[in-house]
Structure 1
Amino acid sequence: MFNSKLFLNFFNDKTDFLDSFFNKNLYYKIAHYSQQDKIDEVKNWYKSERLVFVLGAGTSIDYGLPSWDELLQKLFLLTIKSDNDSQKDNKSSVLARTFNSVFEPSSLISARYLHSYFKKNNPNSTVAFEKSIRDVLYENIDKNLKDSDLLKEIRQFCIAAGRSPNLDSIITYNYDDIIEECLRNIDVDIPFTPIHARGMNYKKNQLPIYHVHGYLPRQGKLTSKNKVVLSENGYHQQYTDTYGWSNLIQINKFKDYNCLFIGVSFSDPNLRRLLDIAKNERGDDEIHHFCLKKRYDKKKVKKELEKLLSEDPRLLDEKQRANIELDDVVNDLIKLMQKFEENDAISFGVGLIWVDDYNEIPLILKNIRE
């Protein structure tokens, strides 16, 4: 719930309000690093062959893949859809599209229900859930779409596999094979291998691509090795099995190598736990990784703030009496939020490299590589 007293205190003395949170923070010094200082540090990691790319959903968004909520919505549609009655089919489509909007169920609860449903209705299949996810995942993908500038630049790092300097490895939290297809889309032979289950290995001259939440390639038969982490029980298994292959890979890379996070947020509890474990194992408070993150949009923040003030006339009256410029408040709110996120990331040994637009990321990667 919105704290009006906190809001008014922020209006009345923004500088003291901000400083009271961060001046005594042990890690605050990283906020004073220049953008180029951070990029140069990643360059050094690349030159010393210690760089690992950690990729999240943001790297595949240009290809027409569904968002998390869209994926759950489409899977939910499969559970209520009637194959024989077109009228019911239309109704079920409406139900599926509006269910999340009206009731806003927990994504974990939805995923748990879906996992149980497909398992119950397909007792003879160990990968019924994964097959359904794959069908939905690639349903609207544009097969003729050219590779994004981001993946083209990531591919340039992969071409160097087996030579010096080179990328150590890629960790991805995505199920899709977008990165693998991108590596195959040029005439240069890029040696790589996707790893997505216990017991899978790569050869010395190959670049390993670790799908730590599972892997669902567009083609081929799915087996028990293609299990994905989507429902709550999958996350619980990862959380409790510290010595599981995916956890060990991440801990090893987070502890002994330097990672560049691209398209990743730090909201996953298991990721936060593994970063904490790696940091404690290192035993220092230094920055060992960086994350590329987009700055908050001032127009969107201002719109939300205006809506908030319009819904609470008392706050609007206080604002008018204080004679405060709304644009100044928006700038300070963004500054505050960025500091919160920097402070959170730094607690894991991760620094943030802020960009105004996602289109800047390929240029930063090119800067690092060249």
Structure 2
Amino acid sequence: MTGHIQFFLRSEAVLGALTSLSSADDLVFYCGAGVSIDRTGLSWSQLLSELFKESKDHGRKNRERDHKAIDFLLKNLKDEEQRASILTEYFTENGATDTNEYLTSKLQQILYEENGWSEGNLLSNLVRLAIVAAMYKKSVTILTTNYDVYIEEEFIRVCKEMSDKANQAGVTVRYPGLERLISPKLPSNSTWTPRKIQDAVKTKSIVRIVYLHGRVGRPGTATEGTVVLDENSYSISRNTITDKIKEYIDGKSLLVAGASLTDGPLVEALALTKTKDATKQNRFALVHPTTTLDPLNYDCNFSIKDAIERITQDDVDRLLGYRGKHLGIHILHPMSHSQTAQFIEELNLALVLHGRRTNREYRDNIGISYEQRLFQWQTEWETNRPNPEEAHQILQDALKIKFRKFCPKRKMKIHSLDWKSGFELNLDQATGP
């Protein structure tokens, strides 16, 4: 496992994906809940749990027995749409409240509540990649199943940052425009409505965000489209959403991030747009392994001619790749959220190199790739900090500053200065929020 984690950004499959995607003319990014978790702090399951917490007092009193039973179901039903169906039906029973209206008020409270975790780079890296790709005259579309507007807000923030820096340097700024396409009000209306968010400056390039499951803006704004959450809304919208995904990914280069390849319309669209030689399709998915090999719970041993061998996580991931081949998409396995974010950053770098038509390539031997930069950083660190005890102390002091920044109300003690045995971080939460 350790080797797999260490070499994700050095593997041939990953390097090949960076080369293929960076040279594509039409880029489509499919973004699931994992992309905006940097801002919301919520996975899909956690979103449902928070929705339940916010809804307990929704027009119903003395319902403790029901609430306890719902809590049990949320924790034990595996199908997320089934769990969502119970919530929406229970809290909108007898038509007292429109489902979209009910979900809007609750989701606005949940999605935009301060959660204390907004330092991740995946969302920011993705937005910067979209801007850079558009500036190199590539067609860029972002398909998202998320309800929130964090991608929009980050896009506008990055463009303003670019404008401010250009003004300070006395140069002309250029950045693409942004528009959104909203899923229709279902089932009566099948029209997807485009709306301009930001004008392009000194270019005709446009990045389009397609909200597949509706758009829930910040409190005080109206929801656009149908909020797709439960079995009813999924069933009504499935064909419309599948057709829209097919329209955008057919013949295009695709990168799936923050999603687990379990969303029905996405899976169906992939299968229906698969070509005869699927291995040549420029489609990739960054999927965290959901089947982690645990030698404590599974006998990994097998025998070949009386010799005992063991399967590894690499073997499991390799065989999982057959599902990707079945759907016409290459599955890559980052082992953490940060590795997904780093992949996006590396793709940005590879795209810039390709777009500038220079003689330098991402995989050359001049020190551009992540592996080469990592080796250079390590060499420089060892050269400038030859004393291991000193290097360890510098790292420990830096971590202490980081923890105080993220947990300002918490006491923190760092024990063990022995660089050989490592150190222990002990957070005393007695004074925490």
- Give your verdict on TM over 0.5: yes
- CA gap of 1:92–1:190, structure 2 versus 1, over 3 A, is farther
Letter matched to residue 40 of structure 1: T
Alpha-carbon shift at residue 333 of structure 1 (Å): 4.9
Deviations 1:239-271 (A, max 9, x none): 3x3xx2x33331022212111111121112222
1:250 corresponds to: 245
Residue of structure 2 in register with 1:238 after alignment: 237
Cα distance in 1, alignment partners of residues 335 and 99 from structure 2: 44
The 3 A distance-change label for structure 1 pair 65 and 92 is farther
Contact 1:266 1:272 in 2 (8 A): yes
Residue 333 of structure 2 is matched in structure 1 by: 354
Q: Is the 8 A contact 1:65 1:141 kept in 2?
A: no
Matches within 5 A, 1:312-351: 329=310, 332-351=311-330
Higher strand content, 1 or 2: 2
Q: Which residue of 1 aligns with 2:265?
A: 270
Match of 1:288 in 2: 282
Identity over aligned pairs, percent: 19
Q: Secondary structure at the match of 1:256?
A: coil
2:213 is the counterpart of 1:213? yes
Q: Give the letter aligned to residue 338 of structure 2.
A: N
Residue 50 (str. 1) matches residue 26 (str. 2) = yes
Retained in 2: the 8 A contact 1:83–1:89?
no
- Does 1:301 find its partner at 2:310? no
Shift in CA distance, 54/180, structure 1 to aligned 2, threshold 3 Å: same
Corresponding residue of 1:150: 122
Report what 2:80 is aligned to: 107
Cα 1:365–1:167 change in 2 (3 A) is: farther
**Aligned counterpart in structure 2 of residue 67 of structure 1, from 39, 43, 51:** 43
Equivalences for 1:192-207 in 2 at 5 Å?
Answer: 192-197=178-183, 198-201=191-194, 205-207=205-207
Q: Please state how far the C-alpha of 1:52 moved relative to its aligned partner.
A: 1.2
Aligned ranges 1:111-126 → 2 under 5 Å:
111-120=84-93, 122-123=95-96, 125=98
Per-residue deviation, residues 176-225 of structure 1 (Å, max 9, x unmatched) = 112112112232465212222233125664311011122111144325x3
Q: Is the 8 A contact 2:74 2:83 kept in 1?
A: no
Q: Deviations over 1:137-157 (max 9, x none)?
A: 326434x86553222221222
Number of the residue aligned with 1:21: none
8 A contact 1:65–1:140 mirrored in 2:
no
* Letter of the structure 2 residue corresponding to residue 229 of structure 1: V
Change (3 A) 1:67 1:95: farther
Distance (Å, rounded) in 1 between the aligned partners of 2:144 and 2:90? 27
Please identify, of 335-344 and 254-263, the stretch whose mean Cα deviation from structure 2 is larger.
Answer: 335-344
Change (3 A) 1:199 1:105: closer
Question: Measured at CA, do residues 323 and 162 of structure 1 come closer, stay the same or move farther in structure 2, by a change above 3 Å?
Answer: closer
CA positional deviation for 1:294: 3.4
- List gaps (5 residues or longer) in structure 2: 1-10, 163-174, 184-190, 197-203, 350-433
Q: Offset at 1:172?
A: 0.9
Query: Which residue of 2 is the match for residue 131 of structure 1?
Result: 104
Report the CA distance between 1:161 and its aligned residue.
Answer: 6.6
Name the one with the larger helix percent. Answer: 1
Task: Tell me the distance in 2 between the aligned counterparts of 1:259 and 1:360.
Answer: 18
Structure 1 unaligned residues grouped into runs of 5+: 1-31, 310-314
What one-letter code is carried by the residue in structure 1 that aligns with 2:235? H
Deviation at 1:114, TM superposition (A): 2.4
Counterpart residue number, 2:222: 222
The one-letter code of the counterpart of 2:136 is S
> What's 2:152 paired with?
180
Taking a change above 3 Å as real, the CA distance of residues 82 and 171 of structure 1, as seen in their structure-2 partners, is closer
RMSD: 3.5
Shift of 1:290: 0.8
What letter matches 2:42 in structure 1? P
The structure-2 alpha-carbon separation of the partners of 1:165 and 1:76, relative to structure 1 and needing over 3 Å to count, comes to same
SS for the counterpart of 1:306 is: coil
Partner of 1:5: none
What letter is aligned with 2:284? F
**For residue 200 of structure 1, what is the amino acid of its counterpart?**
T
Q: How many residues align?
A: 308
Q: Which has the higher contact order (CA 8 A, sep 6+)?
A: 1
Shift of 1:121: 5.1
